[in-house]
Structure 1
């Protein structure tokens, strides 16, 4: 009950245009409130008609009303936003632009946790429950949330495509199989998915092994470079010692020769 009350309170303070919590809320003379930017955009589109209306009750205004910020409502919304960020239950996650929204939610929609390939709809935790409880939904195929459910429907026969044609490398429906794909090499989409996942796993392992082998080669090359560098440094050091000894020897010989001449 507390969760349901939280949902009602949240929706009360949502803009009916963007369906999000009010931002810089303003209130029209009819009493309905909107985000300042949302209602401005709405009325900008109505400017050419010269008559502006409330998106909810359709009351018209002539001339265009001057909007003023509703400071009390703004304070309440900010408090609600802070409270929701601090203690929002996991199962009350609202769908954002990148999320798949629940098709059964009214008003502001929650995130979908599954999509049904039979119903061609996505559901949040609450609206998905009948698929688990009712025998009528037991054979429905549930998948991860998808925005592209219509891609699973055959454009010719309006049937769910549950078959993969390996001959033509495409998904087809049962009616396609009886028509232009008769005699082709076909399997279920689930079987093809499993095969491709296995192949992808093998390819990924080969790539990872290749990366590991390259890393070993690079490490060996670095070790060889270090050995060559060490050898070169040792050679230079030995050469300097030999040249130093040679110079000392030449100087000694020169000194001996001078003494002999004297």
Structure 2
């Protein structure tokens, strides 16, 4: 029969110990448990006189009776027969690393153990574990993954397996502790407490996963903001460089125009002065020649000849009018230098003022993008606004005054 029907192991597991049902019994509400598991669960609730089903949480004012389910026991037995030959441990995964797993030796042969029994407090290899599947009394024992920490399940005071959990003291206890130091406390089986803690663990895991999703979303948002800041900063730097180049071209063009005008003016002035100087130099040469002639004429001994030639020579001694000469200017192009100095001062003031405004906008952009909290008084003043209080909606013990901007507590 068992070979002709597909049996799902999960459908025949106790919801308390989460293992195959051992000595299955049926609870009053219809749910099935191991005899030992449900008995421990009900024993732990004797002090409260209120009993609940571990699965559906149905409450009973009297201790409910449990009935052995022979049909379910037969089916579980057939299922165990199918699983018995398949005791060897599962094959390791491709990335299995034996050095990273806990190696527990079998207490009989020192081979690697695959299961530990919480009743026997012994770890078994594949061969020595077989009696727990073949011998009926051993089939009721609780098997877990092989562990070297089995001693932690033993009560240090009574040397009994701790199958109960004291919710009052939040610790695992044995049956003798429940009747001694923990008498009257809120106690449940470790399996039932495991179910509760498993639910809490699942809720914690869900909270962690949600927190991870939120933080990943926030990290993605900050990454996008970071990329945006970098992109906008690069654009601002390029714009700053282009603006500087444009200003330099404007200044260079203005400098070239002033240079051209000064050079043209200088050439015009110099040409005029060269022309006048050359005219004066010719006049000087002519006057020197006449001076030599008069010098020779003045030494002649012929009185008659001197008097005859004198009218002609006298006209030679008359000097011609000098050409008009402009008065020398005090400092050529001084106005140009003064204008350039004034332009430099004005340009420096304008550039400083405008770039100060640009710097303020840069600070504002960074503050807004990084969402920094205000810290100083200046930071808080950015959020200043005028508040007007409404006397019609104020509490009876509050007095509004000062143009509806002041409030006083009146008791």
Give the TM bin, normalised by the shorter chain: 0.5 to 0.7
Q: Is the 8 A contact 2:163 2:172 kept in 1?
A: yes
Asked whether 1:252 is paired with 2:253, we answer: yes
1:148 counterpart residue number: 149
Residue by residue over 1:166-212, the C-alpha shift from the partner in whole angstroms, topping out at 9 and shown as x without a partner, is 11122222222222222111110111122223322322332333233
- Structure 1 residue 90: deviation in Å? 6.8
Asked whether 1:235 is paired with 2:236, we answer: yes
1:3 counterpart residue number: none
Instruction: Give 1:64-213 correspondences, 5 Å limit.
Output: 98-105=102-109, 109-213=110-214
Q: 1:256 to 1:170 in 2, by over 3 A?
A: closer
Q: 1:181 to 1:259 in 2, by over 3 A?
A: closer
Q: Is the 8 A contact 2:106 2:124 kept in 1?
A: yes
- Structure 1 residue 146: deviation in Å? 2.0
2:224 counterpart residue number: 223
Q: Residue 113 of structure 2 aligns to a residue in which SS?
A: coil
Give the whole-Å Cα distance in 1 for the aligned partners of 2:252 and 2:150: 94
Q: Is the 8 A contact 2:105 2:113 kept in 1?
A: yes
Give the whole-Å Cα distance in 1 for the aligned partners of 2:236 and 2:202: 51
Instruction: Give 1:7-46 correspondences, 5 Å limit.
Output: none
Backbone CA RMSD of aligned residues:
2.7
| Count of residues paired in the alignment | 168
- Structure 1 residue 260: deviation in Å? 4.3
Q: 1:104 to 1:255 in 2, by over 3 A?
A: closer
Q: 1:257 to 1:135 in 2, by over 3 A?
A: same
Give the whole-Å Cα distance in 2 for the aligned partners of 1:240 and 1:172: 77
Give the whole-Å Cα distance in 1 for the aligned partners of 2:254 and 2:130: 104
The structure number with the bigger radius of gyration is 2
Q: Is the 8 A contact 2:118 2:142 kept in 1?
A: yes
Q: Is the 8 A contact 2:165 2:172 kept in 1?
A: yes
Normalised by the size of structure 1, how large is the TM-score? 0.56
Give the whole-Å Cα distance in 2 for the aligned partners of 1:259 and 1:171: 101
* Most deviating of 251-260 and 232-241: 251-260
Give the whole-Å Cα distance in 2 for the aligned partners of 1:257 and 1:203: 79
Q: Residue 209 of structure 1 aligns to a residue in which SS?
A: helix
Give the whole-Å Cα distance in 2 for the aligned partners of 1:216 and 1:249: 49
- Structure 1 residue 119: deviation in Å? 1.3
Q: Residue 112 of structure 1 aligns to a residue in which SS?
A: coil
- Structure 1 residue 101: deviation in Å? 1.4
Normalised by the size of structure 2, how large is the TM-score? 0.37
- Structure 1 residue 258: deviation in Å? 4.2
Unaligned runs of 5+ in 1: 1-88
